[in-house]
Amino acid sequence: MKAIIWSKYGAADLLKFGDLEKPVPKKNEVLIRIKAATVTAGDCELRKFDIHPLFWLPLRLIFGILKPNRPNLGQEFAGEIEEVGKEVSDFKIGDQVFGGTGIKFGTYAEYRCQKASLPMVTKPAEWSFEEAATITTGGINGIHFLRNAELKKGQKLLINGAGGSIGTYALQLAKLDGLHVTCVDSAAKLEMLRFAGADEVIDFKEQDFSKAGTKYDAIIDVVGGISYNRCLESLNPSGRLVLGNPKTSHMFRSWWTNKTGSKKVKWKFAGDNIEDLNHIKQLMIEGKVKAIIDKSYPLDKVPEAHEYVDKGLKKGNLVIKIGAFALY
């Protein structure tokens, strides 16, 4: 089968288009012919092994000390089931499905074996494979971060780094909850964020939101890199700071903040939550949330897609078309 082979940590051009052996499903797995995948910031961070210091060593042990022990990257997919293991009862041959791989990765390929217990649900027939592929990471994390913000209708939320997959889903979910949402990102993404429902947008290169004097009931920092103290100063007395990509120092400082004051800091990571995946699916069926897709690439152009994400250009989601959708 055609695939993007990941054999070294480092730059995007180390990813190579080639052939891998087609996998065979185990008794608790299904074989999926992948029609679409995505390139996320998380895929690019793992490719470079730009990993949080606290998790660097354990993840290096999992993914390989000197070189990757997984054949390819990609953590989201949409496709069609071609084979079903004898212990699988929730899915059948011909089901169109979408979901995520957890830390297994491996969706930059024409086929993938997936445990039926991992987050995966059937795709409505009227949806494209491209839009379905974008949902799992952004949708589950968007719900998770918004839940941790603990906001009520009419309250003010700021999302830092709102222009990616997680941010665009979190924005739409927040508007459904009746929140006033301010989005911070680069200038090129602000028009898209307004279209997605943002009440206010801020170009982080032109304006430091923490110096404007506005107080928020919660701040969700998707990307990290902003001042911990200034975020706390920008919160109302009982506000919440939700860290999606926390620095080690922020993780430790949060303990003291939570113990000594009314403002709370949270940095718990989202899990493989099938209930949340079904929830975002239902909202999309009802037309209340939409997939925001910037660009699509064929499978052999994944290195170019990674370079695009590395430059911080991605607006919403970046899709990889696979198999019959792409010409090699």
Which tokens in the block code for residue 115? 């445990």
Longest CA span, the chain: 61
Any idea what the Cα angle at residue 122 is, between residues 120 and 126, rounded to 5°?
135
Is the four-CA dihedral 72, 165, 224, 176 of positive or negative sign?
negative
| pLDDT tens by residue, 143-184 | 999 999 999 999 999 999 999 999 999 999 999 999 999 999
What pTM was computed for the model? 0.93
119-134 burial, b if ≥16 CB within 10 A, otherwise e?
bbbbbeeebebbbbbb
Task: Give the CATH fold of the 2-134+291-325 domain.
Answer: Quinone Oxidoreductase; Chain A, domain 1 (3.90.180)
Of the candidates 144, 156, 129, which has an alpha carbon nearest to the alpha carbon of residue 35? 129
| pLDDT tens by residue, 18-34 | 999 999 999 999 999 99
Contact (CB, 8 A) for 164 and 288: no
Task: Output DSSP code: residue 109.
Answer: B
| pLDDT tens by residue, 62-99 | 999 999 998 899 999 999 999 999 999 999 999 999 99
112 C-beta neighbours (distance < 10 Å), count: 27
Same fold, 2-134+291-325 and 138-266: no
CATH class of 138-266: alpha beta
Give me the residue spans of the domains in the chain: 2-134+291-325, 138-266
pLDDT band at 117 (very low <50, low <70, confident <90, very high): confident
pLDDT at position 248: 85
CB within 8 A of 257, min separation 6: which ones?
232, 263, 264, 265
